[in-house]
A and B are shown apart, each in its own frame.
Chain A
Amino acid sequence: MQINNEFKPKIVAFCCNWCSYAGADLAGTNRANYPADVKIIRVPCSCRVNPMFILRAFQRGADGVILCGCHPGDCHYTTGNYYARRRMTMLFSMLSYLGIEKERTRVEWVSAAEGAKFAATMNEFVETITNLGENKRLEDLRCKK
């Protein structure tokens, strides 16, 4: 799977507390492996994720950012992921418009029962980012070693 042996991507995963974070826990409970490159940040709801956080992650050296939330219709707060869905659609479209690789950002709906899906999603995302290589277009050289 490893294309470039030297490159280990940095992946930030924002997970909502009620579904996706629990889904990630379930992936652990089921020992469903995915690369250690993925680091999870717990947020109450996908709607808590500000586009600024995503840009910040890229600035600080992330190569890919993924946002996971409850499936539409299942939000713990009833409507949060609907807003997140629109915001992220717009943000991703804008990033792509600016010529930034669209594959670097992703939204995935993962329920608390979908441990296997969580692991599969992360495996796939890490592979995509590994193939894509280092984030150059949204980097801040001052933040790189």
Chain B
Amino acid sequence: MQEVMVKRASELMKDGTVSRVLGWKNGEFVYDPTPAVFESAEALSAFVYNDFCASNLSKYLIALSKKNGKTLVFLKPCDSYSFNQLLTEHRIDREKIYIIGLECSGKVDEAKLREAGCEGILSVKTEGEDIVVDTLYGEKTLPKADCLGERCITCKSRKVVAFDEMIGENGEVNSECGRFDQVAALEAMTPDERYEFWRGELSRCIRCNACRNICPACSCENCVFDNPKSGISQKAAADTFEENMFHIIRAFHVAGRCTDCGECSRVCPQQIPLHLLNRKFIKDMNECYGEYQAGAEAGSRAPLVNYTLDDCEPSVVYEREASK
């Protein structure tokens, strides 16, 4: 796939359609490719695309669409939802972006490979249902399904929702993905159990801001947590309250705008399942206000900037608890 992508990118660069390409290049290790901008066809020699290229490129387009000329971007299905959401919020100039949609069968979580005993990873390759991992100590073939990151296991959609052209086949929305199962499991717990669960998770937070910085919805010019005038600015969480507050406010700010791309949990160095906060909001909004998928179409109106005359009352929260 990488060759096809590079070929097409250099064509578009040479015929003047685009002035630059947003893609990935190798990072420190083979399993951590990082987003990169390529300004010339020659520079594309450093372009990589493989099963580790998980990062969502859409957020970078906010800055790139302000530059002169068009930017070519490669978007996986989940990234394209973020792209649409940013379009809805007028953060990206669509005219200045050329999108190549990518067929995607999930990205590999390097931690899962380690669990399966792969050390010294040199490369990975999808072969049918399996992946072949080349390591310093020889090749290993593993079922791909066992190596995917959480968000890919519960992938909501393999459909690229915004693109100018596709590489590979466009997929379908998967409404049976079970992405809310874990949320439902938490909801079924007692409040005390939930409290213990979240204390266990959130107390590990080191406030590195990785979740915020990677999040395409958290693209504010100036984040409230950095703004001394907001009244809630913090550097490090000094107290259990602040650990909670950061994550509650962050989830609330992205509620209705979060496309569930799962980047927050993927980049969390403490492995806090942050997506469970966002998915809680998505699940609640679906249940209370009707199905809504942020980014499924550009220009849609999110539930929290909408209402109907007969919305449920906030007391529905007590009623749901009581009915358990």
Q: Judge A-B direct contact (beta carbons within 8 Å).
A: yes
Q: Which residues of A contact B (CB under 8 A)?
A: 51-52, 55-56, 58-59, 72-73, 79, 82-83, 85-103, 105-107, 137-142
- B309 in contact with A82 (CB, 8 Å): yes
Tell me the complex Cα distance, A85–B315, Å: 10
**CB contact list, B231-247 vs A, under 8 A:** 231-232, 238-242, 244-245
Tell me the complex Cα distance, A102–B194, Å: 12
Contact of B191 among A83, A90, A99 (CB under 8 A): A99
- B304 in contact with A99 (CB, 8 Å): no
Residues of B within 8 A of A100 (CB): 191, 195
**8 nearest CB pairs, A to B:** A99-B195, A82-B307, A99-B194, A140-B241, A107-B314, A89-B314, A88-B314, A92-B317
Q: B249-283 CB contact bits vs A (8 Å, 1 = yes)?
A: 10110010000000000000000000001001100
Rounded to whole Å, the gap between the CB of A110 and the closest CB of chain B is 14
* Count of chain B residues with a beta carbon within 8 Å of a chain A beta carbon: 51
> Which of B24-32, B77-85, B284-292 contacts the other chain?
B284-292
4 additional contacts (CB under 8 A) given A73-B309, A98-B248, A106-B315 = A82-B311, A91-B252, A94-B251, A94-B284
**With A96-B321, A137-B195, A140-B242 in contact, do A89 and B288 touch (Cβ < 8 Å)?**
yes
Q: Is the interface of A mostly helix, strand, loop or mixed?
A: helix
Closest A residue to B238 using CB positions: A142
Tell whether B150 is near chain A: CB-to-CB under 8 Å: no
Tell me the complex Cα distance, A94–B280, Å: 7
Tell whether B62 is near chain A: CB-to-CB under 8 Å: no
Contact of B248 among A95, A103, A107, A137 (CB under 8 A): A95
Tell me the complex Cα distance, A102–B280, Å: 16
Residues of A within 8 A of B186 (CB): 97
Rounded to whole Å, the gap between the CB of A105 and the closest CB of chain B is 8
Tell me the complex Cα distance, A92–B321, Å: 12
Contact of A99 among B192, B303, B306 (CB under 8 A): B192
Tell whether B187 is near chain A: CB-to-CB under 8 Å: yes
